[in-house]
C-alpha cells in the first residue's frame, strides 16, 4: 500500500480501502484466454519447369482473353442443345450452287437466325444496369480463325438482305479476316454471333457469349445419323445446334423457343425466306 500522506505515510483508511478493492477484484470472473490462431503460410510462387518456349500473345488474343473472361465471370451462362434435320437445307444449298451462288451453311443459318431474332427481340439486345436494351439492327457476327487469332467479322442488317448479298458480304469479310485486312467497321456492331466447328467433326460444344451480346449459336458437324420415323429407321443428315444465353436477359424456356423456331426454319428451308420475299 502506498500512503498518500507526507513521506508516504499510511493511515488505517488506506489499508481498509486496499482490502475492499482486493475483495472486489477477487470476485470478478477471470477472462478466458484467447487462443491465438496459427498464421496461414504465405502461398509459394508457382514454379515453372525450366526450358520450353514462351509464346507471347498477340494484341487480338489479349483482347479476346479479357473480353471472354469478363463475359464468363459476369454473365450467368446456360447452354441449350437441339438436333436438327439438315436434308432440306442441303438440298436448297445445292439448288443455289447450281444457280451460280456460292453459299455456305453459315450464310443460310445466319439468314434463318435473323428471322428468329426479329420474332424474339430479347435475344437481340444488350444488358445494362438500368435494364435490357433492345437493338433495332440485326447484325450477325461469324467467328473466324485467322491463323492463331479468333476474330468475329459482322454481316450487317441480315434480316433485310437476301442470301446472295449475305453470302457475298460474308465471303468478303472472311477473306479480309484471314488476310489481316479487316476494318474497324467490319468487326463492330454485332448483335449475335455464330461459331462453327463442324468442319473439324465436332458434334457439339458450349461457346462463351461474345460481350456485350446476350447469346451465341454454336454449329456442329452435319453427319448421317439413324433417325426414327413412324414404322422405320432411316439415315438422315443431322446437326446439333447449341445456344449459350445470358440468364439475366433470357431464361431456358426462351432459349428452347428460340431453338425450336430455328429448327423449324432449317428443316423447311424455304427459298422465299432466303430470298427475302416474305
CA 87/CA 47 separation, integer angstroms: 54
Q: Which parts of the chain fold into alpha helices (H)?
A: 12-27, 59-74, 87-98, 105-119, 163-178, 252-268, 271-274
Residue 247 falls in the annotated catalytic set: yes
Angstrom distances, CA of residue 138 to CA of 55, 154, 157: 37, 10, 5
- What residues pair up with 238 in beta bridges, in sequence order? 85, 223
Q: At what angle do helices 87-98 and 252-268 cross, to 10 degrees?
A: 50
Sign of CA dihedral 50, 53, 58, 64: negative
CA 260/CA 263 separation, integer angstroms: 5
Nearest one of 222, 262, 244, 4 to 116, comparing CA atoms: 262
Contacts for 208 with CB less than 8 Å, ≥ 6 apart? 68, 71, 72, 77, 216, 244
CA 229/CA 136 separation, integer angstroms: 41
Residue 86 in contact with residue 222, Cβ under 8 Å? yes
Q: Of 77, 133, 247, 254, which one is the catalytic site residue?
A: 247
Residues marked as catalytic: 247
Amino acid at each position: 500500500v502506498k500512503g498518500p500522506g507526507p513521506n508516504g505515510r499510511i493511515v488505517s483508511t488506506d489499508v481498509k480501502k486496499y482490502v475492499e478493492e482486493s475483495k472486489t477484484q477477487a470476485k470478478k470472473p477471470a477472462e478466458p484466454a484467447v487462443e491465438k490462431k496459427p498464421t496461414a503460410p504465405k502461398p509459394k510462387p508457382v514454379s515453372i519447369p525450366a526450358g520450353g518456349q514462351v509464346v507471347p500473345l498477340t494484341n487480338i488474343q489479349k483482347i479476346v482473353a479479357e473480353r471472354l473472361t469478363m463475359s464468363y465471370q459476369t454473365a450467368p451462362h446456360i447452354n441449350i442443345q437441339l438436333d436438327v434435320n439438315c436434308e432440306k437445307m442441303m438440298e436448297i444449298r445445292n439448288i443455289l450452287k447450281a444457280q451460280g451462288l456460292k453459299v455456305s451453311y453459315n450464310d443460310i443459318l445466319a439468314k434463318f437466325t435473323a428471322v428468329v431474332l426479329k420474332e424474339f427481340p430479347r435475344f437481340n439486345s444488350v444488358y445494362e444496369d438500368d435494364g435490357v436494351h433492345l437493338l433495332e439492327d440485326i447484325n450477325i457476327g461469324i467467328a473466324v480463325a485467322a491463323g492463331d487469332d479468333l476474330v468475329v467479322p459482322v454481316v450487317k442488317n441480315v434480316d433485310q438482305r437476301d442470301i446472295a448479298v449475305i453470302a457475298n458480304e460474308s465471303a468478303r469479310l472472311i477473306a479480309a479476316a484471314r488476310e489481316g485486312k479487316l476494318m474497324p467497321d467490319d468487326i463492330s456492331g454485332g448483335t449475335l454471333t455464330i461459331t462453327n466447328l463442324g468442319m473439324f467433326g465436332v458434334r457439339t460444344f458450349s461457346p462463351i457469349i461474345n460481350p456485350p451480346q446476350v447469346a451465341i449459336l454454336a454449329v456442329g458437324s452435319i453427319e448421317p445419323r439413324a433417325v426414327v420415323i413412324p414404322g422405320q429407321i432411316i439415315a438422315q443428315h443431322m446437326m446439333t445446334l447449341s445456344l449459350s444465353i445470358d440468364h439475366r436477359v433470357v431464361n431456358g424456356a426462351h432459349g428452347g423457343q428460340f431453338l425450336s423456331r430455328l429448327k423449324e426454319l432449317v428443316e423447311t428451308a424455304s427459298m422465299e425466306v432466303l430470298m427475302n420475299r416474305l
